[in-house]
Amino acid sequence: MRRSELKHLSVLMATGFVDMIGFLMVLPLLPFYAERLGADPVVVTFLVAAFALAQLLSSPFWGRFSDRLGRRPMIILGLVVSAGAFALFGLASGMIGSGQQEFLGVEHGGLWLLFLSRLIQGAGGGTTSVVHAYVSDVVPSGERAKALGWMSAASSAGVTLGPALGSIAAGWGETAPGFLAAALCLANAVFAWRLLPEPKRLEEGGEAGGPVVAAEQESILVAIRRVLAHPRREIHSLIFIYAFGMMAFMAMNSVVALFLERRFGATDETIGWFYVYVGALSFVMRALILGPVVSRFGEVRTLRLGALSIATGLVAISFTRDFGLSTAGNLLVLAAAAAFVPIGTALLFPATTSQISGRAKRRETGQTLGVQQAFGGVSRVVGPIWAGFAFRDLGVPTPFWIGAAIMVGVFLIGLRVHPLGLGGRSGVVEALGAEEEGV
């Protein structure tokens, strides 16, 4: 990789690192702030789903505009949009405990501000495809897997650091995390504006235009219908493995802060450290352990192990509580139970994505991965919604049990998938960059 390519990539990695810090500063605090503004668990999970819905709807437009207007301005615009969303989060947080129930004449103004913040933040998060396109523009095809792996590592580092900063900032006041995240995001936009150049496309295609985009969108819709019509085909089974796995994971993720609040008395000043632990474990798994596991067992068996690990973790977490041990003892039990989930996601999702890309026709790889992400995007919306109703109406541990049952189903689907081969490390590293499922 040439020096100019490394320079472009390092700036992009720094931008992604800071952006993820801001995102994870506010995410763990969302359930606590929403409850203080009058939300019940269902409303909290709708707030989680709002981000995924906005991201799902906005992603195609970000990619289209970046083809026409350039990668750099879209990345910078996405950062500015995210900064505005974090500022709205800060404004909503300022209404906690103030007795103010309206904002601009709207009842429950704080909650509506949170919803607006999440929708805008999700729209700004649609730039993920632009970032991947930027990498494709500046890095030769033989080096892209390595570059995408570095991008994923930078994001994972932000995932690990962000929650700790959020909980520390929460100790300064409820508005501090949102406004601090907004300031970081604005500084990040200035950094990108000054140092991130517009890439020179390595592979210039024809003139970008509406008919080409429309044809691509139509073919994706046809491909989606084909997956639904023939779910037993192996490549389609893998897409469903990814989608159902993502649904169970996002269901857990949407209620885990509320669960820890009920069972362990977690607060906005302590919840971040749980996310730090999970993020650090996920980073270690992806950076150091995933490659050797795939080399030893192959990608198909790796994704099966991942499904079983997530199922085990969800069941184990559901039974954790204050066992009458010391505080350290209770936390050690929780840490041991929770560890199965990031271990499982690090095994399941990259291996599944790599298998999908390996089975796709050469000229349809991008389209097939787009279909996978479309199914995953729907799962990110649906999972939190049913988890909220189950948490509120059926009991605190119920979403974890349902999620575990789904993961057992994912494992059974995985038994029908036959290995393509041992699966090299490069395929998994490329998959790490092709999918970002969060914490």
Q: Which of 161-175, 189-203, 263-277, 329-343 has the lowest mean pLDDT?
A: 189-203
**Domain containing residue 327: CATH number:** 1.20.1250.20
pLDDT in tens, 127-184: 777 887 788 777 776 676 677 777 877 888 888 899 999 999 999 999 999 999 999 9
Q: Can you give the residue range of the structural domain that contains 7? A: 1-196
Angstrom distances, CA of residue 311 to CA of 271, 297, 342, 437: 23, 20, 11, 17
Does some domain include residue 8? yes
Does some domain include residue 204? no
Does some domain include residue 109? yes
Last residue of a domain, one of 196, 230, 261: 196
Q: What is the pLDDT of residue 207?
A: 41
Q: What is the pLDDT of residue 241?
A: 97
At CB < 8 A and 24+ separation, what contacts does 63-67 make? 63/129, 63/130, 63/133, 64/213, 66/129, 66/130, 66/133, 67/133, 67/208, 67/213
Last residue of a domain, one of 163, 196, 229: 196
Angstrom distances, CA of residue 71 to CA of 79, 134, 138, 160, 300: 13, 6, 11, 27, 35
In a shared domain, residues 329 and 389: yes
Does some domain include residue 429? yes
Mean pLDDT value of segment 360-366: 70
Nearest-angstrom CA–CA distance, 325 and 333: 10
Tokens of 362: 């050469």
SS3 call for 107 = strand
Mean pLDDT of the chain: 85
Q: What is the pLDDT of residue 145?
A: 62
pLDDT in tens, 381-425: 999 999 999 999 999 999 999 999 999 999 999 999 988 754 444
Q: What is the pLDDT of residue 11?
A: 85
In a shared domain, residues 165 and 63: yes
Angle formed at CA 18 by CA 13 and CA 21, multiple of 5 degrees: 125
Nearest to 429 by CA among 156, 235, 159: 156
SS3 call for 284 = helix
Last residue of a domain, one of 196, 223, 252: 196
Q: What is the pLDDT of residue 141?
A: 65
In a shared domain, residues 14 and 41: yes
In a shared domain, residues 192 and 213: no
In a shared domain, residues 322 and 405: yes
Nearest-angstrom CA–CA distance, 120 and 55: 9
pLDDT in tens, 277-308: 999 998 888 878 988 998 899 999 999 999 99
In a shared domain, residues 213 and 337: yes
Q: What is the pLDDT of residue 348?
A: 94
In a shared domain, residues 35 and 162: yes
Whether residue 20 has pLDDT greater than 80: yes
In a shared domain, residues 257 and 176: no
Q: Which of 320-329, 363-372, 385-394 has the lowest mean pLDDT?
A: 363-372
Percentage of residues in the chain with pLDDT exceeding 70? Answer: 85
Does some domain include residue 154? yes
Angle formed at CA 19 by CA 118 and CA 269, multiple of 5 degrees: 70
Whether residue 236 has pLDDT greater than 50: yes
Q: What is the pLDDT of residue 310?
A: 98
In a shared domain, residues 168 and 214: no
Q: What is the pLDDT of residue 64?
A: 77
Contacts of 332 (CB under 8 A, 6+ apart): none
Nearest-angstrom CA–CA distance, 399 and 76: 38
In a shared domain, residues 389 and 264: yes
In a shared domain, residues 266 and 393: yes
Q: How many independent structural domains does the chain possess?
A: 2
In a shared domain, residues 240 and 120: no
- Using 50, 70 and 90 to split pLDDT, how confident is the model at 272? very high
Residue with tokens 């936009």: 189
CB 81 within 8 A of CB 55: no
